[in-house]
Amino acid sequence: MFKNVALGAFFLFLFYGGYRTVKNEMLELKYFSRSEFGIWWPLMSQDLLQKLDLFREKWGAPVVITSHPDGLGRKDESGSMHNVLKWGEVRAVDVFPQGMDTLEDRQRAFQIAKSVGLTGIGLYTDTRPSNMLHLDNRDKFTYWTRIAGKYNYGMVA
């Protein structure tokens, strides 16, 4: 009995994974290629990808996806929107919007991210090579900054 359930779950997983892959295969993004998402491409949330593409359009300059191993998907115990074990897909992405250097730039990036419907927005001024933006989709609108390693919720700076 257990074996059959496990087998069923396995095939369901395969089917669902395949379906997701095909779905993203057909997804047309204007500014990003799937190679930029590496191994996480089949698990990327479509909604997130479309909003990221819109963000890029409105930002008007390249938006570089971080090469940090935790910048797309993660597998851990956390409630992070990056955690594929919790959400079954990658709902967050860390990016370097080119030219996001000043407070004014960061506020503009925040407003654009909000306007395209992203609901988790983090601004990091302590990252390299430049300021970083975390973008995600979540139920309750949340934004924060990290300045010199210190998190501040509900603040754009």
Collect all residues with Cβ–Cβ distance below 8 Å to 150 and sequence separation of at least 6.
Answer: none
Taking the least distance from each CB to Zn ion, the nearer of 23 and 75 is 75
Q: Mask: binding to Zn ion, 19-58, rule CB under 5 A, as x and -?
A: ----------------------------------------
Using the rule CB under 5 A, which residue among 94, 95, 96, 110 binds Zn ion?
A: 94
Look at the alpha carbons of 3, 8, 11, 13 in this order and tell me if their dihedral is positive or negative. negative
Of 89 and 94, which has the nearer Cβ to Zn ion?
94
User: Which sign, positive or negative, has the C-alpha torsion 17, 19, 25, 28?
Assistant: negative
Calpha distance 106→141 (Å, rounded)? 18
Interface residue with Zn ion, options 96, 134, 143, 145 (CB under 5 A): 134
**Interface with Zn ion, residue 90, by CB under 5 A:** no
Using the minimum distance from each CB to Zn ion, give the nearer residue, 12 or 100: 100
Which lies closer to Zn ion via its Cβ, residue 14 or residue 134?
134
